[in-house]
């Protein structure tokens, strides 16, 4: 497992665990391929710090503030100068507790 601070300097293949804090409001965005999808930002916190976590679609209702989660094969992207982590198309998000 890596830390949130290490994840900020990686692009993909990120395996990480942490506690979800400050889950925001769900909003609906348009997809490039057409249609819409729900998206929600939260923060994943561990002993090293925190990283913005972007939740998509069916993952949003699974996660609450205080949920301990494990992300396998996640990736990061940078938008408006802020790094965010997501499970992406090929990763997994598991609620541990």
pLDDT in tens, 15-46: 999 999 999 999 999 999 999 999 999 999 99
| Tokens coding 58 | 């069916």
Residue 89 pLDDT grade (very low, low, confident, very high; cuts 50, 70, 90): confident
pLDDT of residue 63: 96
Q: Decide if pLDDT at 51 tops 90.
A: yes
CATH number of 4-95: 2.40.50.140
Q: Decide if pLDDT at 79 tops 90.
A: no
Q: What is the mean pLDDT of residues 49-67?
A: 97
pLDDT of residue 48: 97
CB-based burial, 49-83: b 16+ in 10 Å, e otherwise: ebbbbbbbeebeeebeeebebebbebbbeeeeeee
């Amino acid at each position: 497992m890596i830390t949130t601070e290490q994840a900020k300097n990686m692009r993909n293949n990120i395996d990480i665990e942490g506690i979800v804090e400050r889950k925001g409001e769900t909003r609906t965005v348009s997809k490039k391929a057409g249609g819409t999808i729900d998206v929600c930002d939260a923060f994943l916190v561990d002993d090293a710090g925190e990283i913005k976590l972007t939740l998509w679609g069916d993952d949003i209702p699974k996660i609450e503030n205080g949920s301990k989660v494990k992300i396998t094969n996640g990736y990061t992207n940078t938008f408006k100068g802020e790094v965010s982590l997501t499970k992406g198309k090929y990763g997994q998000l598991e609620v541990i507790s």
